[in-house]
Amino acid sequence: MIFSQVVNMVNLGIAVLDKDLRVCHWNRWLEMHTGIPEKTIQNTPLLDHFPNLNQKWFLRGCKTVFTLGNVAFFSHKLHRHVLPITAAHHLSPEFKFMRQNCTIGPVYSDDHKVDYICMMIQDATEVASLETRLLAISTRDPLTGLYNRNYFETKLKEDLERHRRYGGALSVIVIDIDGLKPINESLGNHAGDTALVEIAGLLTGRLRTVDTIARYGADEFCVILPETPLSAAMLVAGQLREKVAQAALCPDKTGRPVTISMGVMESAEKGVNCEDLLKKINDALTTITGSPPNSLISLSD
């Protein structure tokens, strides 16, 4: 009686299971969030109601608690959720299900045997949502939503390491927006920002999900194309340039459309160093900035 009153007051999901994983107790928190009353689920196998738990990681965790009397913990970072409970949309619109931390511990009998286990579920959705937003802040450019320079350099290093280990082609496209400075000077930064956002959307729409595009500088973008030789990367760059030209973005008073100039390089050598390639990228951007508008240049690493 006292046990039931206490566990029904806490802001946690608490379920007590026997060795066959039948539900012996199901507290009010679980009733409210799963929509399953205790009288419905009591004395029935938990897996009958939640077949998603019929997996090695969960069954192994329960078995070790019964056998060794230890505590098993399942983190929201690794398993996302234990029970598929719909998340509160206003708190976490990015998640379909409530993110959960789950702890399973032993319940000893009078003769010190583990006859039951207690599963405690904590709502970790707000924490997971905050972590997601902090990650976005640290890796994304706030204006365009593209990755930022720091993330690009980290990703380039990872892709080069994969290229060094397994071979294959790796190409990089460097992009400079022609004439963005005059737009900012004549119409203000808002016009230039609008052009940046629109161009970022156009470029992203043409790329694959495995490609990485980042805002590298004020008016410069870089794209990593894994498993892409120079010839194919030149075709992609040409399509990107054509897509921006066809959009005919005209943010300045002259009506002259914004264009982009591009350079393409391939990392053909398996032993290429990330710092060396970054230097070549910066040198390439300098070269492109000094080239005629709407240029497309093949570069060598």
Do domains 2-131 and 140-300 share one topology? The answer is no
Quote the pLDDT of residue 150: 92
Backbone angles phi, psi at 127, to 5 degrees: -65, -45
* Inter-residue contact 27 to 122 (CB < 8 Å): no
Task: Say if pTM beats, i.e. exceeds, 0.75.
Answer: no
pLDDT digits (tens, 9 = 90+) for 10-21: 889 999 999 999
Q: What is the pLDDT confidence band of residue 268, given thresholds at 50, 70 and 90?
A: low
Compute the distance between CA of residue 249 and CA of residue 181 in angstroms, rounded to an integer.
15
> pLDDT digits over 166-195, tens only?
878 889 999 988 877 777 767 777 778 888
Q: Which residues of 243-282 are buried (b: 16+ CB within 10 A; e: fewer)?
A: ebeeeebebbeeebbbbbbbbbbbbeeeebebeebbebbe
Closest CA to 61 of 41, 75, 45, 80: 75
The domain ranges of the chain are: 2-131, 140-300
Q: Can you state the percent helix, strand and coil of the chain, rounding each to 5?
A: 45, 25, 35
CA distance 180 to 197: 12
The pLDDT value given to residue 272: 64
Give the whole-angstrom CA distance, residue 279 versus residue 272: 12
- Give the integer Cα–Cα distance in Å for 139 and 150: 7
Q: How far apart are CA 52 and CA 92, in angstroms?
A: 22
Extract the tokens encoding 115: 């006859």
Give dist(CA 198, CA 244) in Å, integer.
Answer: 9
Q: Could you give the 3-state DSSP secondary structure of residue 41?
A: helix
The secondary structure element, H or E, covering residue 187 is helix 180-187
pLDDT at 79 over 90: no
Backbone phi, psi, residue 70, to 5°: -90, -165
CA angle (31, 18, 75) in 5-degree steps:
65
- Regarding the domain with residue range 140-300, which homologous superfamily does it belong to in the CATH classification? Reverse transcriptase/Diguanylate cyclase domain (3.30.70.270)
Alpha carbons 214 and 139: distance in angstroms, whole number: 10
pLDDT at 134 over 90: no
Q: What is the pLDDT of residue 179?
A: 75
Pick the CATH number of 2-131 from 3.30.390.10, 3.30.450.20, 1.25.40.10, 3.90.79.10: 3.30.450.20
Cα-Cα end-to-end distance for the chain: 75
